[in-house]
Structure 1
Amino acid sequence: MSYNLNDINEDTKSARESALLGNYEDSVVFYEGVLQHIQKLLLTVKEPERRRKWQQVRQEIAQEYEYVKDIIKILSSFKSDSSRNSNQDYGLRGYDDYGRHEEPTRDPDVWPPPTPVEHRPSPNIRGGIRVAPKKDVPTSKYRPAGKPSAPSDRDKKRVGGPSYGGGRDRDRGREKRKEEEAEKKFDPSGYDKDLVENLERDIVQRNPNIHWEDIADLVEAKKLLQEAVVLPLIIPDFFKGIRRPWKGVLMVGPPGTGKTLLAKAVATECGTTFFNVSSSTLTSKYRGESEKLVRLLFEMARFYAPSTIFIDEIDSICSRRGSDSEHEASRRVKSELLVQMDGVAGACGTEESNKIVMVLAATNFPWDIDEALRRRLEKRIYIPLPTVKGREELLKINIKDLEVAPDVDLSEIAEKLDGYSGADITNVCRDAAMMSFRRRIQGLGPEEIRNIPKEELNMPMSMEDFIEAMKKVNKSVSKDDLERYIKWMNEFGSV
Structure 2
Amino acid sequence: MNFSTADICENTKMGREFALLGNYETALVYYEGVVEQLHRLLQTINDPGRKEKWQKIQQQIIQEYEQVKDIQDILNGFKSDSHCDRPTTAQMNYDDVPSDQIVWSSPTSKDPEVWPSPTPVEHKPGPPVRSTRGGRRSEAAKASNVSKVGNSSRAVVSKRGDNKSVKREDKSKKEGKKDEAKEQMEQDEKKFDTSGYDKDLVEMLERDILQKNPNVHWDDIADLEEAKRLLEEAVVLPMWMPDFFKGIRRPWKGVLMVGPPGTGKTMLAKAVATECQTTFFNVSSSTLTSKYRGESEKLVRVLFEMARFYAPSTIFVDEIDSLCSRRGTDSEHEASRRVKSELLVQMDGITNSEDPSKVVMVLAATNFPWDIDEALRRRLEKRIYIPLPTMEGREALLRINLKEVEVMEDLDITEVARKLDGYSGADITNVCRDASMMAMRRKISGLTPEEIRNLPKEELELPVSPEDFEEAMRKINKSVSKHDLEKYVEWMAEFGSI
> Structure 2-normalised TM-score?
0.68
Aligned residue for 1:380, secondary structure, equals strand
How many Å apart are 1:139 and its aligned residue?
A: 11
- CA offsets 1:175-216 (integer angstroms, 9 cap, x no match): 8646643xx311100011100110111110133222111100
CA 214–308 in structure 1, closer or farther in 2 if over 3 Å, else same: same
Corresponding position of 1:14: 12
Provide the C-alpha distance between the structure 1 equivalents of 2:343 and 2:458, rounded to a whole number of angstroms. 56
CA 314–194 in structure 1, closer or farther in 2 if over 3 Å, else same: same
Q: Percent identity over the alignment?
A: 70
Corresponding position of 1:240: 246
Aligned positions of 1:447-462 closer than 5 A: 447-462=450-465
For the pair 1:384 / 2:382, whether they are aligned, the reply is no
CA contact (8 A) 2:213 2:277 kept: no
Aligned counterpart for 1:149 among listed residues 173, 180, 184: 173
How many Å apart are 1:231 and its aligned residue?
A: 1.5
CA 297–249 in structure 1, closer or farther in 2 if over 3 Å, else same: same
CA 490–9 in structure 1, closer or farther in 2 if over 3 Å, else same: closer
For the pair 1:212 / 2:236, whether they are aligned, the reply is no
CA 205–9 in structure 1, closer or farther in 2 if over 3 Å, else same: closer
CA 442–177 in structure 1, closer or farther in 2 if over 3 Å, else same: closer
Q: Which amino acid aligns with 1:444?
A: L
CA contact (8 A) 2:12 2:34 kept: no
Q: Which amino acid aligns with 1:289?
A: E
Provide the C-alpha distance between the structure 1 equivalents of 2:449 and 2:210, rounded to a whole number of angstroms. 42
* Structure whose alpha-carbon radius of gyration is higher: 2
Aligned positions of 1:37-436 closer than 5 A: 41=43, 149-150=173-174, 177=185, 180-181=188-189, 184-344=190-350, 346-347=351-352, 350-436=353-439
CA contact (8 A) 1:252 1:380 kept: yes
Provide the C-alpha distance between the structure 2 equivalents of 1:417 and 1:287, rounded to a whole number of angstroms. 49
How many Å apart are 1:353 and its aligned residue?
A: 2.8
How many Å apart are 1:41 and its aligned residue?
A: 3.5
Question: What value does the CA root-mean-square deviation take over the aligned residues?
Answer: 3.2
Provide the C-alpha distance between the structure 2 equivalents of 1:34 and 1:277, rounded to a whole number of angstroms. 35
CA contact (8 A) 1:311 1:361 kept: yes
Aligned counterpart for 1:479 among listed residues 473, 479, 482: 482
CA contact (8 A) 1:11 1:34 kept: no
Aligned residue for 1:150, secondary structure, equals helix
CA contact (8 A) 2:258 2:385 kept: yes
Aligned residue for 2:256, secondary structure, equals strand
- CA offsets 1:256-283 (integer angstroms, 9 cap, x no match): 0000111111222221000000001000
How many residues align structurally? 364
Provide the C-alpha distance between the structure 2 equivalents of 1:10 and 1:409, rounded to a whole number of angstroms. 49
Aligned counterpart for 1:490 among listed residues 459, 480, 493: 493
How many Å apart are 1:314 and its aligned residue?
A: 0.1
CA 18–327 in structure 1, closer or farther in 2 if over 3 Å, else same: farther
- CA offsets 1:232-251 (integer angstroms, 9 cap, x no match): 22221111111111110000
How many Å apart are 1:150 and its aligned residue?
A: 3.0
CA contact (8 A) 2:436 2:464 kept: yes
Provide the C-alpha distance between the structure 2 equivalents of 1:288 and 1:357, rounded to a whole number of angstroms. 24
CA contact (8 A) 2:223 2:396 kept: yes
CA 357–434 in structure 1, closer or farther in 2 if over 3 Å, else same: same
Aligned residue for 1:275, secondary structure, equals strand
- CA offsets 1:34-92 (integer angstroms, 9 cap, x no match): 99975654589xxxxxxxxxxxxxxxxxxxxxxxxxxxxxxxxxxxxxxxxxxxxxxxx
Q: Which amino acid aligns with 2:259?
A: G
Provide the C-alpha distance between the structure 2 equivalents of 1:191 and 1:9, rounded to a whole number of angstroms. 31
Q: Which amino acid aligns with 1:384?
A: P
Provide the C-alpha distance between the structure 1 equivalents of 2:319 and 2:205, rounded to a whole number of angstroms. 18
Provide the C-alpha distance between the structure 2 equivalents of 1:432 and 1:473, rounded to a whole number of angstroms. 10
The runs of 5 or more residues in structure 2 that have no matched partner are 20-32, 47-165
CA contact (8 A) 1:43 1:233 kept: no
Q: Which amino acid aligns with 1:298?
A: F
Aligned residue for 1:351, secondary structure, equals coil
CA 34–272 in structure 1, closer or farther in 2 if over 3 Å, else same: farther
- CA offsets 1:336-387 (integer angstroms, 9 cap, x no match): 000000011x32xx13132100000000000000000000000000000000
Corresponding position of 2:131: none
Provide the C-alpha distance between the structure 2 equivalents of 1:275 and 1:451, rounded to a whole number of angstroms. 46
Provide the C-alpha distance between the structure 2 equivalents of 1:304 and 1:35, rounded to a whole number of angstroms. 22
Provide the C-alpha distance between the structure 2 equivalents of 1:443 and 1:331, rounded to a whole number of angstroms. 58
Corresponding position of 2:27: none
Q: Which amino acid aligns with 1:352?
A: D
The runs of 5 or more residues in structure 1 that have no matched partner are 22-30, 45-137, 152-166
- CA offsets 1:409-451 (integer angstroms, 9 cap, x no match): 0000000000000000000001100111111111111111112
Provide the C-alpha distance between the structure 1 equivalents of 2:328 and 2:299, rounded to a whole number of angstroms. 23
Q: Which amino acid aligns with 1:213?
A: D
Aligned residue for 2:355, secondary structure, equals coil
